[in-house]
Amino acid sequence: MSVIIFLLIAALVVGAIGVGAGVRIVKQYERGVVFRFGRVLPDTRRPGLVFLIPFVDQMHKINMQIVTMPVPAQDGITRDNVTVRVDAVVYFSVVDPVRVAVDIQDYIAAIGQAAQTSLRSIIGKSELDDLLSNRERLNQGLELMIDSPALGWGVHIERVDIKDVALPESMKRSMSRQAEAERERRSRIITADGELQASEKLATAAETMAEHPAALQLRLLQTVVEVASEKNSTLVLPFPVELLRFLERATPAETGGAPAAAEQSAERSDEPSAEQPVEPAEPRRPITAEDTAPEQVTHVDGRSAAIGRPPASTPVPHT
């Protein structure tokens, strides 16, 4: 009886071990590829609990997530003979787990080597300007070059991006001089265009001023006002001859009757008024020699005093 119980316990233990060996768990982002007696089964195991035949089936889990793999920097010579150093990054994922498990030993390393080779090839086929300014087209071309062999391995290339393009220092200086010359050319073209437009406007203004000479004088006065507003310079204003001629023509018309009116008012002031009586003028005394005699100075009590011209009827005292 004890032997039978021992056999039952042993059978249960062996069954538990077998069941434990045949149970697997597949995660959501994985797929299981089953090999039965060394031959791959066409159906892959989905995420969840998976039962296998103990000691008969073997399962390999394949990651289906997108893998980000940086491509090491590659040295190359462009089509226009410029040495550059370019690095990139590749995004890929597995689309056929069976082929990944059967057809290729290490698909990640294979994708890395294909990316490096394709990157060097795209460098040699492109010019420096394309590497610097037209990267979208180069990224698409690089993606197609890597994706061609990867599809046979059950891998799909999601995206390829060129990260950086390293240039020699001499090339950087040359490009800097080229950019500076280009900016100088644009600035000269803009300046010349502005001069052309200004000359056209000045020609139109000159024609207008030729038709209306007063406009030139107004412009001159406006310029004088603008200069005089600073109050830090001496202004020499030329008086135009045309303005003198204009004033000369306008003077007789405006002030021609002024002298005649002035003469008439003077004559009227000299004539006596009829309402007021005319008084006779006082007779003037004739000028004698005594009136024209020089002044005399007389000393009185040892002091000097200046006296005026003595009257004619008063004798001059003697000291």
Provide DSSP, 71-101. EEEEEEE-TTS-EEEEEEEEEEEES-HHHHH
| Closest of 82, 92, 168, 169 to residue 131, by C-alpha | 82
Torsion, Cα of 211, 213, 215, 220 (10° steps): 140
Measured CA to CA in angstroms, residue 274 lies from 64, 112, 278 at distances of 136, 134, 9
- pTM greater than 0.85 (yes/no): no
For residue 23, give every residue at least 6 positions away whose Cβ sits within 8 Å of its Cβ, in sequence order, or none: 49, 50, 51, 52
Residue ranges in the chain assigned as alpha helix (H): 2-22, 97-102, 107-125, 128-133, 135-151, 169-211, 213-228, 241-255, 258-270
Q: What is the distance between the alpha carbons of residues 21 and 90, in angstroms, rounded to a whole number?
A: 38
Identify the DSSP state of 310: P
* The two structure tokens encoding residue 29: 């982002």
Burial 301-319 (b: 16+ CB within 10 A, else e): eeeeeeeeeeeeeeeeeee
Calpha distance 81→101 (Å, rounded)? 42
From residue 263, alpha-carbon distances to 252, 256, 272, 308 in Å are: 17, 13, 16, 45
| Packing angle of the helix pair 213-228, 169-211 (nearest 10 deg) | 130
- Cα separation, 54 vs 188, in Å, equals 84
Instruction: Kindly list the averaged pLDDT for each block of 10 residues, start to end, along the chain of length 319.
Output: 75 72 85 90 88 85 92 89 91 92 90 92 88 88 90 91 88 86 92 92 85 79 76 69 75 52 47 46 51 45 44 46
State the pLDDT at residue 194.
Answer: 92
Torsion of CA 93, 98, 100, 105, to 10 degrees: 160
